[in-house]
Each structure stands twice: as C-alpha cells, then as structure tokens.
Amino acid sequence: MAKKEQEYNSFVEEGIRYMQCSNCGSYVENISEKLKSVLCYRCTLVKALNLWNPFVKKSTNRKPKGWHWMKEFVDKDGNVFHKGKEMPKLKGTLSPTKIKKAVQRKKKKKESFEKKINMMAKEYKQKQKLKKEQQIGINK
C-alpha cells in the first residue's frame, strides 16, 4: 500500500504563508504553495550533524572500495557479484570474499621551500667563487 501524504498545518498571514515543521512543529515562513511538508533550519542542522557524528556506528555491511571492479565479489549476506552485476542464482553458494587492507606506501618527505632556496644559494656562491678563481688564473 502506498503511504498517504500528510499535509501539515499551514496558514497565510499578510500574504506570507507559514507551515509547521514536519519534525518539531515550529512554524516556517515564506513557504511555496506547492509544498506539502517542510523541515525547519534547526531540524535540518541536527540531521546534518548526525551524519558526521563519530559516536554513531555506521553499518558494517559496507562493500569495500572497488568491489564492482572485482571479477567476483561475495558480500556477507551471500550475494554474488560478477564485475558489479548481481547473480541471484548463485546467492549463498560461495563463501564471503575476504577483504585485505591496502598497504599504505610511505611518501617521500618533501624538502621545505627554505631548504631548497638555501641549497640553490650555496651552489650559486660556489659557482661565483670558481669564476673568480678562473679569472685570477687567467690574469696571472
């Protein structure tokens, strides 16, 4: 059965339409005539912050990155996928794929900008000294 759409309380005052928030019941102003429900800014903020809440555990049945590129992947429920396409006939016939953690490579430490400039300055000074010595040798 289809869920019936509930239209929340609304009224018009001085040409401005107000409607109740579908979550907390507070009134929101400047609402379009087409809307059937609305969410206030406070409820929207709470929902958005709950998405990034570090204390809420996310589902553990997530698929690893690149699962759809694997030749064969079997999730914890026994669903079998071949190159990202589900094969319902094979459901439950194979054991779940063991996921290996990717080995993180060590990044080369980049030299700081100041160190590079100091190295270039030293090389420049050495070249200048060599030029002066060569000119003194030629002049003698």
**Tens digits of per-residue pLDDT, 47-61?**
888 888 777 666 666
Answer for the pair 91, 78: CB distance below 8 angstroms, yes or no: yes
Residue 71: per-residue pLDDT: 92
15/23 Cα distance (integer angstroms): 25
Whole-structure pTM over 0.85, yes or no?
A: no
In whole numbers, what is the pLDDT of the chain averaged over residues? 84
Residue 82: per-residue pLDDT: 92
Answer for the pair 8, 38: CB distance below 8 angstroms, yes or no: yes
* Lowest-confidence region among 73-82, 83-92, 95-104: 95-104
**19 to each of 14, 15, 30, 40, 113, how far by Cα in Å?**
14, 13, 9, 10, 58
Q: In what order do the strands lie in the sheet with 27-29?
A: 10-13, 16-20, 27-29
